[in-house]
Amino acid sequence: MFSNKYEKIVFGIMIVVIIGLIIFFNIDYSPHKMHFEEDKIRIKIDNIYIKDIKAVELLDDIPIGNKIKGTSTETYLRGTFQIDGDEKGKLYVYRNSKPYIKITTSNKTLIYNDKDSNKTIETYNQLIKKYNLKSSTNSVKCNNFKSSQTSYTQKDDIVIAISIMPAVLIFVGIGIYSFKRKTPMHFWAGTTVKSEEISNIKAYNRANGIMWISYGLSFLLIPLLGSMVGSIAIAILSPFMIVGMVLCYRCIYNKYKVK
């Protein structure tokens, strides 16, 4: 199936990347939301029965410690974390998005907020009104808290765009180098393509250059599509892009090799 050891190495890397992606996408990236049911509230797989609730609070700040079990990303915290010192709590929290709803039951503490501050306040007011719960905080108006939302900002996009530019410039540079070569461009590290192997060196090098430049520019999908969407798109497409480059080079070589 593979003509040389370098192709085997590339396909081996691809398999490792795919395994990594499987692990990556097993992490829960879907948004969390509090659902109100007849006798309980539900947040993803967590259920809290109304009869077990001891207190409900709306807090401007929550001291959150280390993760015990769950997911911690740049955008949110989900799982079991240390709160208020040694206490353990279940978190469904967007970072830097105040306020927080703290629900204390007979056997656990749950901290929750929405992406938007005003939405969190609406959820809190709906919670205490629907189930007639006692709260240490009275019904709160939306404008009592400064609206905040955790998301990738324009500044984040700029930082990510700058971070991917070295990769873009390297691959584009390889493409330009291919255009300027007088001898045939090689694809596999440590190998050479002899001039007598190629029927039209200029066209062969130009095709290789276009391939490398196209691959480099594909990384610009990240800032163009947005940091999160672009990153996921590149993560999904990367192994297929590597295979695509291998196949593309084989087509270029077969087209221009001396018959």
What pLDDT digit, counting tens, does each position of 37-69 carry?
Answer: 999 999 988 999 999 999 999 998 888 888 898
Q: Confirm whether pTM is higher than 0.75.
A: no
In the predicted model, is pLDDT for residue 123 greater than 60?
Answer: yes
Say which range, 32-46, 50-64, 98-112, 232-246, has the weakest mean pLDDT.
Answer: 232-246
The per-residue pLDDT of the chain, averaged, comes to 79
Q: Regarding predicted confidence, which is higher, 210 or 140? A: 210
Q: CA angle at residue 46 from 43 to 47, to 5 degrees?
A: 90
What is the structure's pLDDT at 159?
60
In the predicted model, is pLDDT for residue 1 greater than 60?
Answer: no
Q: Regarding predicted confidence, which is higher, 9 or 167? A: 167
Residue 83 CB partners (closer than 8 Å, separation 6+): 62, 63, 64, 65, 89, 91, 109, 111
Mean pLDDT (whole number) for 131-138: 72
Each residue's pLDDT tens digit, 179-198:
999 999 988 877 889 999 99
Residue 253 CB partners (closer than 8 Å, separation 6+): 187, 193, 204
Chain center to CA of 80: 21
In the predicted model, is pLDDT for residue 158 greater than 70?
Answer: no
In the predicted model, is pLDDT for residue 166 greater than 80?
Answer: yes
Decide: 158 and 144 in contact? Cβ < 8 Å. Answer: no
State residue 242 phi and psi, 5-degree precision: -65, -45
Q: Which residue has the tokens 């609206």?
A: 147
CA distance 183 to 203: 11
Mean pLDDT (whole number) for 116-133: 92
CA distance 14 to 16: 5
Q: Which of 115, 132, 119 lies closest to 56, judged by CA?
A: 132
Q: Which residue has the tokens 């629900």?
A: 103
Give Cα separations from 14 to 21, 77, 190, 206 (angstroms). 10, 30, 20, 26
What is the structure's pLDDT at 257?
92
Structure tokens at 169: 């410039």
CA distance 208 to 178: 7
Mean pLDDT (whole number) for 213-236: 66
In the predicted model, is pLDDT for residue 230 greater than 60?
Answer: no
Structure tokens at 8: 């085997």
Decide: 89 and 70 in contact? Cβ < 8 Å. Answer: no
Q: Regarding predicted confidence, which is higher, 258 or 259? A: 258
What is the structure's pLDDT at 150?
38
Categorize the per-residue pLDDT at 106 as very low, low, confident or very high, splitting at 50, 70 and 90. confident
